[in-house]
Amino acid sequence: MIVVVICSAAVALALIMTVAWAVQLRTGQSGWIDAIWSFAVGVVGAAAALAPIAGQEGLTARQMLVAACVLAWSVRLAIHIMRRTLRGGDDPRYKALREEWGENFVFRLFLFLQVQAAAALVLVICVLAAARNTAPLGWGDALGLAILAVAVLGEAAADAQLARFAGSPSAKGAVCEIGLWRYSRHPNYFFEWLAWLSYPVIAVGLPADNLYGLIALTGPAMIYWLLVHVSGIPPLEAHMLKSRGAAFADYQKRVSAFFPGPRNA
C-alpha cells in the first residue's frame, strides 16, 4: 500500500509541476511556480498522510494532525507568494536562470520543475513517515506541533516585516534590517527549514519509539541544503549584491546568513 501511495504522489507532483510550467510560460511570472509548488506539497502531502494504514480501522488522530499541519503550512506560504506575484515583478532567481539558459529556457525550465517535483516527493515522504507512526499520541506530537506553529508564525512575521519595509519610502537602495531581519539575513528561509523539523519529531516520537521515522530527517536536511547552498541564499544574495551593493555587503558582515544570532558591530 505504501508503495502505491508514494508512486501516486510522484505522478501527481510531476503533473502539477507541468501545470506550473505551462502557467509560467503563459503569464511570464515565475512566482506562480513557487505558489503552485507550495500548494502541491500541502495537498499531496495531506492526501498521503490520510491514506489508509493496513490493519487500522479508519483514520488515526495522528494522520489528521499531520495532514492539518502540512495544509496549514502550505496554504499560508502559497497565499503569501500569490499575493506577491499579483503585485507584479519577477523572482530574481528565475530571471537569472532565464538569462543563463537563453534559447533553451523553456525546455530546461520544464526539467528544472520536474526536479522540484522530485524534491516535493521527498517532503511528502517525510509527511507520510510522520502520519504512519502508529504509537499513541504523545509528547513527540506536542513538540512537533509546537515547532511547526513557531515556524509558520515566524515565517509569516518575517514576510510581513519585509513587505512593510519594501513599501516604505526609505526602502530604495537600502537593506531590510527591521524585526527578525536584524538577526538573520534570511529569517523566512530559517523558519521554512524549521517547519520541516516537526515531522521527524512526530515520526520518531518522544521518547523515541519508532526509529523507522528517522527517514523523515531527509526533509529538513534537503531543505537546508537547497536553501543555504543551492537555490535559496546563493542566487538571492548575488542579486542583492548587484542591486544594493555596499549596503548589502556591509549587512553580510554584520548579520548571520541563516541561523538567527547576535549582530556583529
- The pLDDT value recorded for residue 171 is 85
Q: Mean of the pLDDT values across residues 131-158?
A: 97
- The pLDDT value recorded for residue 265 is 61
- Give the Cα separation of 36 and 224 in Å (integer): 21
Q: Mean of the pLDDT values across residues 81-93?
A: 85
- Give the Cα separation of 239 and 86 in Å (integer): 21
Residue 250 pLDDT > 80, yes or no? Answer: yes
Is 199 in contact with 217 (CB distance < 8 Å)?
no
For the beta carbon of residue 195, count every other beta carbon within 10 angstroms. Answer: 25
Is 147 in contact with 197 (CB distance < 8 Å)?
yes
Answer whether 0.85 is exceeded by the pTM: yes
Question: For the segment 10-54, what is each residue's pLDDT rounded down to a tens digit?
Answer: 999 999 999 999 999 999 899 999 999 999 999 999 999 999 987
User: What are the extents of the domains in the chain?
Assistant: 1-132, 136-265
- Output the CA–CA distances (angstroms, integers) from residue 194 to 83, 217, 223, in the order listed: 23, 12, 9
Question: For the segment 228-242, what is each residue's pLDDT rounded down to a tens digit?
Answer: 999 999 999 999 999
Burial of residue 99 (number of CB atoms within 10 Å: 0-12, 13-18, 19+): exposed
List Cβ neighbours of 34 (8 Å cut-off, separation of 6 or more): 81, 91
Write the DSSP string, 212-234.
GGGGGGHHHHHHHHIIIIISSHH
Residue 111 pLDDT > 80, yes or no? Answer: yes
Q: Give me the chain's average pLDDT, please.
A: 94
